[in-house]
Structure 1
């Protein structure tokens, strides 16, 4: 088994330790998945004093300490996600951001949500490239490079790169419904805005010669949850995109997040994680071509006609967000947040086991709670599924969930065997 990748969870005392509920960073293959960092002073365990600038600075200080502890640098970050409780705070955060990333800018998502743990005003998540990889006893290409790309056919931002490729994945900045020619929100309502978001994603992918159906995961941030039906109507005109995808009714894994507000007062924004079969140099030609996407559904977990339960590519599986739905009845389980959290995690477990993996292979968990005060109750359940707290984790509070659920959970899972062609 020593030819297989290994999950590598790590912590440093120079950043908040999370009470054993999660690891600060989990490396697998060529990526490090970080737990979202709150503006906590690791010495006191409390929020730092001051306003939004001080909080944003502390989040990035914590990230930098974690990055340093694994012998990497901040420019190895390929994606940043910024959660705020007040969208107007983005202006102040951007002043801090320019000092953190003065030249190179990762891909980025900014969203205002209902609440954050410890009543913080900001929380920052990161994904880091990991050139050395995690195959035990086997040195890997430590000099893999990031490939950054912008096209004038999609909106360009001073604070983010449209897409950053590393190894076998492209990570896209979240796309707003902006006309790339005018730099302004397009006119119209939710349908027109959704079309523009997806057109921007398509333009970015076309600029790097990647087909639209190479998307493995979609996250939709929506301001008014009642608009989801209209979003879905547009969504089905983009997916499936090719005749091959239509033949198998392929949809990416998907998570829908209710946003309190979005940049530029948009109604919707969409981000995508995209497979990159060509890899990034200096991966050898025989390692770069012919990898395929493997989509999987099981009857033992809830199915959604607009998403696949899990989509594998190369050494990762991306799961759709799981609601507390009983797969047999198609309805929410009875009980409160504990019962609902348990059902979400059971659904995840069933999906993961259906592809011959286990919960020990999970590298990142994202928890979306209707009431952030329910976190302690959720943690009680969570520990029974992840007793060693090894996955990285992000927790946010959002105002609305499908079916009036109290919680939804998605995950990223390691995939040691990779996807064909298997050498």
Structure 2
């Protein structure tokens, strides 16, 4: 394992156990949870009932995992909600807020084409704060900072930005005008610009520059819109003169959504570097901790993203398509060859920064055919020699380049980025 800080992977029998993932993987001051289906942990079957019952079971499973590692639900920083039908969101919201006593986490909601269990209507994963750190870090009583700005859309179901330690997570921003509360007029370009303006406004409200974004997730209802999205995207990145000098682009994932809240065409969420930390950490100049970027010629290079962006004790990878390193073409063969290529690309990136696959704490897999998951699982575990990462799998109706699979990852970064203490 790279670095001295220890990755801690844990399972509890109070939540469903999956042989191909760890329920929770803690590293330093964050803990990554695998996606939870509405499965009863004793029977292993989908709970009987409607989407409200299924949403409760997902949240009960998350709560059981959170409590099994000595935490509470108010330690949750971010939740991703994947629904089979956006029409179910109102029913999900009826039960959602009851699981949090005070500060709501950030949230991203996406309608997906399929989930790993055919009878599931919903699936959720989560990221939680981990103030005690992982060995040999000493426990510290860090404060979670949840903040909203009136200059960006405010939701009763989530907080705009939740910072903990040296990271800050911004919930999915829809193309909503904060004044009217409605989707902006215009097509995909207008909507993309509004999403990014909302993110920028939130960041400015907490005195964080736009180029502190280390990872962006773009959800589109039509991948044919991606070229137009990219035209707008490159007017926002790089933002500062320093970033323009080095051509900085965050890591990025583009994910096909079957539907988005309010009928939007696009939504974007982000992970932000937070160099000043949260109390009681020593306040530093946010540029005192360096964002470290890296591309390797041993994996596909994209001008619109950086393969891997490290900050503090985490490293965020751009989603990998099953593309050959040179030439940019899809690998020949079926889903087996495509999954191997995605994982080999990830492995090449991870090894280029002197890490190994067992340093991965979270894997996200998108498939165009959920029936292919069994095939992927036969090769997946072979890329890891230790405890498996947390994992989220969703079905999508399309993937860029017409691929059958796309995979992204979050990697532990025990050595940190300068100046480390």
TM-score tier by shorter-chain length is: over 0.9
Is the CA contact 1:83–1:124 (under 8 Å) kept in the aligned structure 2? yes
Which of the numbers 173, 180, 183 marks the counterpart of 1:182? 180
- SS at structure 1 position matched to 2:91: helix
Q: CA deviation at 1:2?
A: 11
Aligned to 1:123: 123
Is the CA contact 2:218–2:269 (under 8 Å) kept in the aligned structure 1? yes
Aligned to 1:57: 56
Q: CA deviation at 1:212?
A: 0.1
Which of the numbers 132, 136, 143 marks the counterpart of 1:145? 143
- SS at structure 1 position matched to 2:110: strand
Does 2:237 correspond to 1:239?
A: yes
Does 2:256 correspond to 1:258?
A: yes
Aligned to 2:403: 405
Measured at CA, do residues 3 and 306 of structure 1 come closer, stay the same or move farther in structure 2, by a change above 3 Å? Answer: closer
Q: CA deviation at 1:387?
A: 4.8
Which of the numbers 151, 157, 178 marks the counterpart of 1:159? 157
Q: CA deviation at 1:331?
A: 0.6
Unpaired stretches in structure 2, ≥5 consecutive residues:
none
- SS at structure 1 position matched to 2:252: strand
Is the CA contact 1:52–1:121 (under 8 Å) kept in the aligned structure 2? yes
Aligned to 1:94: 93
- SS at structure 1 position matched to 2:199: helix
Q: Distance in 1 between matches of 2:59 and 2:343?
A: 30
Q: CA deviation at 1:98?
A: 2.0
TM-score by length of 1: 0.97
Aligned to 2:281: 283
Q: CA deviation at 1:288?
A: 7.2
Does 2:67 correspond to 1:71?
A: no
Is the CA contact 1:3–1:135 (under 8 Å) kept in the aligned structure 2? no
Q: Distance in 2 between matches of 1:295 and 1:205?
A: 21
Within 5 A, what are the aligned runs for 1:305-344? 305-344=303-342
Measured at CA, do residues 29 and 407 of structure 1 come closer, stay the same or move farther in structure 2, by a change above 3 Å? Answer: same
Q: CA deviation at 1:390?
A: 1.9
Deviation per CA, 1:146-199, whole angstroms, max 9, x where unpaired?
111100110000010000000000000100000001111111110000000000
Moved over 3 A (4+): 285-289
Q: Distance in 2 between matches of 1:2 and 1:389?
A: 14
Aligned to 2:20: 21
Deviation per CA, 1:298-319, whole angstroms, max 9, x where unpaired?
0010011100000000000000
Is the CA contact 1:291–1:421 (under 8 Å) kept in the aligned structure 2? yes
Measured at CA, do residues 2 and 287 of structure 1 come closer, stay the same or move farther in structure 2, by a change above 3 Å? Answer: farther
Is the CA contact 1:21–1:388 (under 8 Å) kept in the aligned structure 2? no
Q: Distance in 2 between matches of 1:354 and 1:390?
A: 21
Q: Distance in 2 between matches of 1:2 and 1:35?
A: 22
Q: Distance in 2 between matches of 1:241 and 1:350?
A: 29
Q: CA RMSD in A?
A: 1.4
Mean Cα displacement is larger for which, 283-292 or 175-184?
283-292
Aligned to 2:11: 11
Q: Distance in 1 between matches of 2:192 and 2:420?
A: 37
Q: CA deviation at 1:421?
A: 1.1
Q: Distance in 2 between matches of 1:320 and 1:349?
A: 12
Q: Distance in 2 between matches of 1:186 and 1:171?
A: 24
Is the CA contact 1:197–1:269 (under 8 Å) kept in the aligned structure 2? yes
Q: Distance in 1 between matches of 2:8 and 2:274?
A: 23
Q: Distance in 2 between matches of 1:103 and 1:297?
A: 41
Aligned to 1:369: 367
TM-score by length of 2: 0.98
Which of the numbers 221, 224, 246 marks the counterpart of 2:222? 224
- SS at structure 1 position matched to 2:232: helix
Q: Distance in 1 between matches of 2:188 and 2:3?
A: 49
Q: Distance in 1 between matches of 2:163 and 2:45?
A: 36
Deviation per CA, 1:245-268, whole angstroms, max 9, x where unpaired?
111111000000000000000000
Is the CA contact 2:78–2:127 (under 8 Å) kept in the aligned structure 1? yes
Is the CA contact 2:111–2:260 (under 8 Å) kept in the aligned structure 1? yes
Q: Distance in 2 between matches of 1:383 and 1:399?
A: 25
Unpaired stretches in structure 1, ≥5 consecutive residues:
none
Is the CA contact 2:80–2:108 (under 8 Å) kept in the aligned structure 1? yes
Aligned to 2:40: 41
Which of the numbers 212, 215, 229 marks the counterpart of 2:213? 215
Q: Distance in 2 between matches of 1:175 and 1:250?
A: 22
